[in-house]
Amino acid sequence: MGIYEQLAIPPSSHHLELLNFFHIVSLLVFIPFIGMVFGASLFSYVFTLIGRRKRDNKYIRFSKDLLDKLTISRSVGLGVGILPAFSVTFVYAQLLYGADVITTGVLFFACILYSLGFAMLYRFKTTFQVETIILSMKDYMSNKGTDSENLPEDVKKYEDKLDESNSKSGRWGFVLMFFATFLFIGATTLAANPQDWPHVGNIFAFFINGEILINFLYFLALSMTITGISILFFFFIWQGGLKNMTEDYKKFVQQFGVTLAFLSVMVLLVLMFVKLIYLPQNALSFQVFFYSGLSLLFLVIVGNLLFAIIRNAEIKYVSAAFILMFLVITFSIINDELVLANAIKEHVVEITAKADEEDQKKLAAVVTTSDVNAEEIYNTKCIACHKFDQKLVGPPYNETVPKYNGNVQKLADFIYSPTKVDAGYPPMPNQGLTKKEATAMAQYLIQQLEAGK
C-alpha cells in the first residue's frame, strides 16, 4: 500500500488541472461499465441458481447471455474496468498527498479485488460456453431419439464438475465485485469528507458511516438502472438485437429489464435528494446545485421513457434512455468532483503551494549555468557595493541571502530586476545581467553562504 504514496509526488497547480480532468475521464468510463458488470454478475449468478433449481434452461440461457453481452470481453474489462480503477487510485494518491486518510491504501486494495473479480467473471463466462456445447449435444441426442440423460460416463462427470466450478466462479466473481465496489465507494466518499478522516481509521468503520452507506446505496440503484437499460439495449437494439430468441424468452427478458430499470430509477430519484441533504455544508455551491438539478431532470426523462416502454412496449425508446442515462452519470460525476474539490480545497492549496515551490527550485537548478563564471561577475559587478559580512552601499549578503531560504528562482528574479526592499538603503541599480547570469549569481551566493562565508 505504501508503493502508491511513494509513487505520488505533490501535484503543482497546473498539474492539478490535468489530474482533475484525468479523474473525470477515468470515472466516465469506469462508473457506467462497473455498474453494468456489477449488475450482470449479480443476476447471472442468481439466475444460474434459479435455473438449476427449477431445471429451466431459459434462466440458464439468460445468465449466459447477460455475461456475454454486459461484460463484453476480457480486453474491454481490462481497459474500461481495471485500468481506470488504478488511474483513479493514482489521482487520489496525488490529491491526498501527505493527508492523514486511508483512502489511497483502500483504493489500491479495491483495485486488486476488482482484478480478481474480473478474472473470476471471465472464467464464469468460459465455463458457460462449454456448458452450452454440452446442452446442445443433449438437444441433438434427444432429437435423435436417444435419452439425453444417456450421455457417456465421463461427459457426465465433466458436466458435474463444470456445474460446480461454474457456480463457484459465479459466486466469487460477484462477491469480489461487491466488496471491491463497496471499498471503492467508501474510500472516495471518505476523501470528500475531511471531518471524518480522523475517525475512519480502517475499513470496518465504513460500515457505520452514514455518507458511505448512502453513497453505496446510490451506486447500487445506479448500477441496477444501468443494468436494466443495458439489458434492453444489448438484447434488442445493439447490432439488431440477439438472434434466436423465442417469443417466450424475448418477453421474459424485456419484462425483467424494463421492470428492473424503472424501479431502480424511482429509488435513484429518492436517493439523489437524500444525497444532497447529506452533503457537508462546505461542499455546497451553486454549481453543485446546478449539476444535481441537471442529473435529476434527465433521470426524470429516463423514467418517463421507461414508463412508455412498459405501457405500450415501444422498445425503440431504449436508445434514448441509454444515452440520457449516460448524461445523468456524467453530471453526477462532475458534481461529485466539485464536491470533492470544495471539500479538500484547503488541503490542496497547501500541497500545491509546496509543490510549486519545489518546482521552481528544480527549474532554477536545471537552467545550465556552467558556462557562466559567477565569481567573475561578483568580482566585477557586485563587489563595489556588496560584501558578505560588511555593509557597503548595499547590505551584506549574510543578512539578505538567507531570507530567500535556498529559493534560487526568487533570488535570481531580484538580481535580474531589483526592486525596493529595505528603506535603510538606496534602491539597487539594475546590473543588466541576463536571466542565466542572474540565476548563476543566485546559485553562487547561496552556495557561498552554505559554505559558511
> Which residues contact ligand HEC (rule: CB under 6 A)?
377, 381-382, 384-386, 393-395, 400-401, 414-415, 420-422, 425-429, 431, 433, 441
| C-alpha distance from residue 400 to each of 93, 284, 364, 420 (Å) | 38, 45, 19, 13
How many Å apart are CA 245 and CA 297, to the nearest integer? 35
Tell whether the torsion through CA atoms of 203, 209, 211 and 213 is positive or negative: positive
Residue 212 CB, nearest approach to ligand HEC (Å): 51
Least distance from ligand HEC to the Cβ atom of residue 406, Å:
13
**What is 220-279 written as a DSSP string?**
HHHHHHHHHHHHHIIIIIGGG--SS--HHHHHHHHHHHHHHHHHHHHHHHHHHHHHHHHS
Looking at the Cβ atoms of 265 and 364, the one nearer to ligand HEC is 364
3-state secondary structure (DSSP) of residue 384? coil
CB of 390 to ligand HEC, least distance (A): 13
38 closest CA partner among 167, 170, 168, 181? 181
Nearer to ligand HEC, 226 or 377 (CB): 377
Q: How far is CA 260 from CA 238, 283, 285, 305, 418, in A?
A: 19, 32, 33, 14, 71
Spatial distance between the Cα atoms of 443 and 195, rounded to a whole number of angstroms: 43
Rounded least distance, CB 417 to ligand HEC, Å: 12
Q: What share of residues in the chain are helix, strand, coil (percent, to 5)? A: 80, 0, 20
Nearer Cβ to ligand HEC (97/404): 404
CB of 411 to ligand HEC, least distance (A): 6
Pick the closer one to ligand HEC by CB: 79 or 394. 394
With residue 174 as reference, give the H or E element that holds it: helix 153-191
Residue 267 has a CB neighbour count (10 Å cut-off) of 16
Tell me the closest approach of the beta carbon of residue 370 to ligand HEC, in angstroms. Answer: 18
Which grid coordinates are listed for 309? Answer: 416502454
- Establish how many alpha carbons lie within 13 A of residue 337's alpha carbon, considering only the half-sphere containing its beta carbon: 21
Q: How far is the CB of 447 from ligand HEC (least distance, A)?
A: 13
* Nearest partner of 118 among 164, 159, 161, 86, judged by Cα: 86
Contact 176, 116 (CB under 8 A): yes
User: How far apart, in whole angstroms, are the C-alpha atoms of residue 196 and residue 212?
Assistant: 11
330 is written with which cell numbers?
A: 456524467
Query: Please, which residue, 260 or 408, has the CB nearer to ligand HEC?
Result: 408
Q: How near is the Cβ of 421 to ligand HEC at its closest, in Å?
A: 4
Least Cβ distance, residue 357 to ligand HEC (angstroms) = 17
Task: Say if residues 92 and 104 touch (Cβ distance below 8 Å).
Answer: yes
Nearer to ligand HEC, 240 or 424 (CB): 424
Nearer CB in complex with ligand HEC: 87/400: 400
Considering the complex, state which of residue 222 and residue 441 has its C-beta at the smaller distance from ligand HEC.
441
Shortest distance in whole angstroms from residue 402 CB to ligand HEC: 10
Q: What are phi and psi of 203, to 5 degrees?
A: -70, -15
Q: Please say which residue, 319 or 448, places its beta carbon nearer to ligand HEC.
A: 448
Q: How many helices (H) and strands (E) does the chain have?
A: 16, 0
Between 84 and 395, whose beta carbon lies closer to ligand HEC? Answer: 395
